[in-house]
Structure 1
Amino acid sequence: MAPDCAVDGGIEAPIDTDGLRGKLTPDAPLAKLVWFKSGGKADWLFEPADMDDLKEFLRRLDGDLPIMALGLGSNMIVRDGGVPGVVIKLGKQFADVSIDDASCIVECGGGAHGILVASAARDCGVAGLEFMRGIPGTVGGFVRMNGGAYGREVSDVLIDCTVVMPGGQCHTLPAADLQYSYRHSALPKGAVVVSARFQGVKGDPEAIGAKMDEIADARENSQPLRTKTGGSTFKNPPGRKAWEMVDAAGCRGLTMGGAQVSEKHTNFLINMGDATSADIEGLGEEVKRRVYANSGVELEWEIQRVGRP
């Protein structure tokens, strides 16, 4: 029999945990779980054992606390005051990928990494999902944010997604219901994406692999991948490139505290080692100010900023 839910530190849980099998941690440090390696703690971090465990946990919680799902933490600033409520972290139990060869439909768990999805599709001769090789995140994250790279985005291929709501109800939402726009969806707040289905097309595994390699090489050559960063900081304004506007405003290499605008790609911010999340977010706001002063265009954050200042 699986053990009941473990609650660290002897702190009283917000719900009755009897029969739950996941791990519930109070005051859970989040810096180690996000790419910037900065920020505060979650009031509670829940790592469900499986789908039934997640549904039962959220049913008992019944919307009493805010819910935030956390994937790879690649496109996120967790503020230094921490995240209120419960952060949900899906593990390997939610990372399966299965493919129907006849229909070229790729079904993925919400915790599956983009590179895993693209690679599994390649191995089965399914094309159209190569761009996910360039998205540093999990299915749940880029379904919510309409993640994209190299000319394609999730809205181009999503059939539907299955979510668990804060009260524990499970719903399957067709892509049309998400009202996708650039790096945005109408996915309900607190909904946890547990799976998604994508539509691919027949393709040649060798050609698919070559395209994925091109994407990997392009990322390696143009982005500061081996640093503590958070991916693209600002959305591209219509007809413009955010990095060009940041560069034109003289922000390449600009620093604030331990944070810096990347000299390799100016739409990336970097934690040089000891930056606080306030340093990183403050630097982003200063970049926005300078770009507006230089061009009259107000950049919009692409990186999620969550938690208490």
Structure 2
Amino acid sequence: MTGIAPSPEEAMPAVRGTLKAQAPLAPLVWFKAGGAAQWLFEPKDAEDLADFLRLSDPSIPVMALGLGSNLIVRDGGVPGVVVRLGKPFAKVEQMDAVTLRCGGGASGILVSSTARDAGIGGLEFLRSIPGTVGGFVRMNGGAYGRETCDILVECEVVLRSGERVTLPLDALGYTYRHSTLPEDAVVVSALFRGVSGEPAAIQAEMDRIAAAREESQPLRSKTGGSTFKNPAGHKAWALVDEAGCRGLKLGGAQISEKHTNFLLNLGDATSADIEALGEEVRRRVREKSGIELEWEIQRVGEKK
């Protein structure tokens, strides 16, 4: 953590949630690797978050953290403030026959299960994404032919200035796994709209998706989900496989033999191992096919 430790004279605003200095992030991310946050803030509610951002030094960087499933935290740690939305932001409320208001910290499993119980179809794909609403909205998360842009009506975000704004779907500039949200904005809630459906049929679709994931993905490993975006007209996993990378190892990291678009921490990998393996895969794919793979996993923080 050289160079980003909080100094004693750094004054942070008072909070009603929790604010910790030098907080380890490895336990909070799926890879179970990486350094610490200079500050880790878990706000009590959206107002607490807004007040903190408004009163803190605007030069201090801010990053939101959900379940840490699609994230490499580099070994040198993350400077500034990492905002983690906990239980106060994990609520899902039915607004009308086909619409849910979902907290930014609510998981895809909670959202899809709540939708099922309410007879709301079209949100089943969220069952398969190991993340939270805030991440879905920011990255236009999707799977099995559906994306967040298909169900989002609007979202509420807290900007780095502390201003709370509601943004409609067309303000987010969605493309494949990308939005134009400012990097330091924090999504605190979203309004999702589905279609009327029968709970039994919705559950059947969720079961189908769960079974497909179980069959094809290394779900019980220290991983980060899909590593690379699918290039237009191609599947990332197939390009990786064709480049001879199935099972490839570097340090304590490995390309999954079950699904070649998944990186694995075999137990003692550093984040440097994991990221370097990903870069080696990109190099080999580029040499083999001439295609430049883009990272889907977010990489944050400083190298050690």
**TM-score band (shorter)?**
over 0.9
Offset, 1:12: 5.3
Alpha carbons of structure 1 residues 162 and 150: separation in structure 2 relative to 1, 3 Å? same
Aligned partner letter, 2:210: A
CA distance in 2, matches of 1:174, 1:222: 35
Aligned partner letter, 1:230: G
SS at match of 1:305: strand
Aligned partner letter, 2:197: G
Aligned partner letter, 1:265: H
Deviation per residue, 1:105-129 (Å, 9 max, x gap): 1110000001100000000000010
Flag structure 1 segments of 5+ consecutive residues without an equivalent.
1-8
CA distance in 2, matches of 1:237, 1:266: 15
Aligned to 2:66: 71
Task: Find the partner of 1:31 among 26, 30, 35.
Answer: 26
Aligned to 1:292: 286
Q: Is the counterpart of residue 194 in structure 1 residue 188 in structure 2?
A: yes
Q: How does 1:245-260 map to 2 (within 5 A)?
A: 245-260=239-254
Q: How does 1:129-168 map to 2 (within 5 A)?
A: 129-168=123-162
Deviation per residue, 1:74-125 (Å, 9 max, x gap): 00000011101000001110011011343x1111000000110000000000
Task: Find the partner of 2:106 among 108, 112, 118.
Answer: 112
Task: Find the partner of 1:88 among 69, 79, 83.
Answer: 83
Structure 1 contact 43–84 (Cα < 8 Å) conserved? yes
SS at match of 1:231: strand
Aligned to 1:15: 12
Structure 2 contact 13–52 (Cα < 8 Å) conserved? no
SS at match of 1:44: strand
TM-score, length basis structure 1? 0.94
Alpha carbons of structure 1 residues 97 and 250: separation in structure 2 relative to 1, 3 Å? same
TM-score, length basis structure 2? 0.96
Range 52-61 or range 228-237, more displaced: 52-61
SS at match of 1:230: strand
CA distance in 1, matches of 2:186, 2:198: 34
CA distance in 1, matches of 2:7, 2:295: 39
Q: How does 1:174-213 map to 2 (within 5 A)?
A: 174-213=168-207
Identity among equivalent positions (%) equals: 67
Aligned partner letter, 1:97: V
Aligned to 2:54: 59
CA distance in 2, matches of 1:258, 1:14: 39
Structure 1 contact 62–167 (Cα < 8 Å) conserved? no
Indicate the RMSD between aligned Cα atoms, in angstroms.
1.3
Aligned to 1:3: none
Alpha carbons of structure 1 residues 64 and 214: separation in structure 2 relative to 1, 3 Å? same
CA distance in 2, matches of 1:87, 1:94: 15
Deviation per residue, 1:39-58 (Å, 9 max, x gap): 00110000111122111111
Offset, 1:241: 0.5
Structure 1 contact 122–208 (Cα < 8 Å) conserved? yes
Aligned partner letter, 1:72: L
Offset, 1:15: 1.9
Deviation per residue, 1:106-165 (Å, 9 max, x gap): 110000001100000000000010000011000001100000010001011111100001
Task: Find the partner of 2:38 among 34, 37, 43.
Answer: 43
CA distance in 1, matches of 2:94, 2:8: 43
Range 60-69 or range 222-231, more displaced: 60-69
Aligned partner letter, 2:48: D
Q: How many aligned residue pairs are there? A: 298
SS at match of 1:27: strand
Aligned to 2:92: 97
